[in-house]
Structure 1
Amino acid sequence: MNNYVHPATLEFPGSSSPSDADPWALLEAHGEGLSVENFLTTWMSHVSNALRRAITVPYADEFGLTVAEWRMIAVLAHAQTLPFGELVMRSSTDKSLVSRTMRMLEGKGLVSLRAQGNAPRRKLMCELTPAGIELHDQVIPKAREGQAKMLLVMTVEERKVLFQVLQKLHRECLVHQAALHPHGVPDDELQHELHETQEAQPPHDAQHAAPSHP
């Protein structure tokens, strides 16, 4: 049984069977008949990538940034100063990509990286430079406008339901993550990752691809 509905051609035809338009309507606990194309993670990835291309890439391009660079700038602008490990968590980005991105931003004079504390528990603190703050203040109005335009495609009720569903899914993911990693990811492991990256030559080609979210 394959009830795949391609995201680009999704339609909601009038039908007495809800499964015709909704492959999750009759979902059972063991997931029998659920195709990979209709996995929740597949759909979230499709939508996330499409939103990034439609909203974020245009204004990132305009200001000479990659999507990952803008993500780091936005997080740091809100938090001001963060340890590297916390930046990884708040940005929901793969730590190796954060390492590369921060190195590139440092090279552009947009972020400052400084060591704090003594080895072996020394932390690497990340913050925006005055130039980084100025750039953020130029980009954020366009970012907000793009986000609002897409959110307003939905009704007030749809936005409310979507926000509640996303919160519920996020909470459930955190519960699962805590169960799998009760002691968390060691901060010194993250620091080592960044220090290794800083010793390497940053790539000449910056890609727009931000991390995929399974």
Structure 2
Amino acid sequence: MASEAQLDLARYVPALLNFLSNKLSSGASQCYRKHFEIGVVEWRMLSMLAVESGITANRICQVIGLDKSAVSRSLHALEVAGRVCTEVDPADGRRYTVSLTASGKELYNRVLKV
């Protein structure tokens, strides 16, 4: 009986990249929470909104690659904290757009320096 091939995780590049990404995100999230009271998901959204303001939650999901529930929870937390504001999309009254507030821009700039 032939032995089955085994995946060598120490040499499998996709796994190594995933492990590295997870470690970096975890470390960054700890730093962001300690110093800025936000997590890595909230930071990603602040960054996205700093580049492209007045966008929908769906657009954030498409670009960042997160599921709708994670984006929704994080946007809610950012809105409660006064970091983002939502308003009805003038082009489509069924959608809402999200933008940074002055407080959100200030936080973005502080985190960016770090």
- What range describes the TM-score normalised by the shorter chain of this pair? 0.7 to 0.9
1:27 corresponds to: none
**CA distance in 2: counterparts of 1:3 and 1:59, whole angstroms:** 34
**CA distance in 2: counterparts of 1:59 and 1:74, whole angstroms:** 16
Q: Does 1:73 align with 2:73?
A: no
Instruction: Tell me how large the CA RMSD over aligned residues is.
Output: 1.8
**Long gaps (5+) in structure 1:** 7-22, 24-37, 143-214
Aligned pairs for 1:16-165 (under 5 A) are 23=11, 38=12, 40=14, 42-54=15-27, 56-61=28-33, 62-116=35-89, 117-118=92-93, 122-142=94-114
TM-score (norm 2): 0.82
Q: Once superposed, which parts of structure 1, at least 4 consecutive aligned residues long, lie more than 6 Å away?
A: none
**CA distance in 2: counterparts of 1:131 and 1:74, whole angstroms:** 14
User: Which amino acid counterpart does residue 29 of structure 2 have in structure 1?
Assistant: V
Q: 1:163-187, CA deviations, whole angstroms, 9 ceiling, x for partnerless residues?
A: xxxxxxxxxxxxxxxxxxxxxxxxx
> Is the Cα–Cα contact under 8 Å of residues 59 and 139 in structure 1 kept in the other structure?
no
> What's the CA shift for 1:141?
1.3
Of all paired residues, the percent bearing the same amino acid is: 26
> Is the Cα–Cα contact under 8 Å of residues 32 and 38 in structure 2 kept in the other structure?
yes
1:11 corresponds to: none
What count of residue pairs does the alignment treat as equivalent? 107
TM-score (norm 1): 0.46
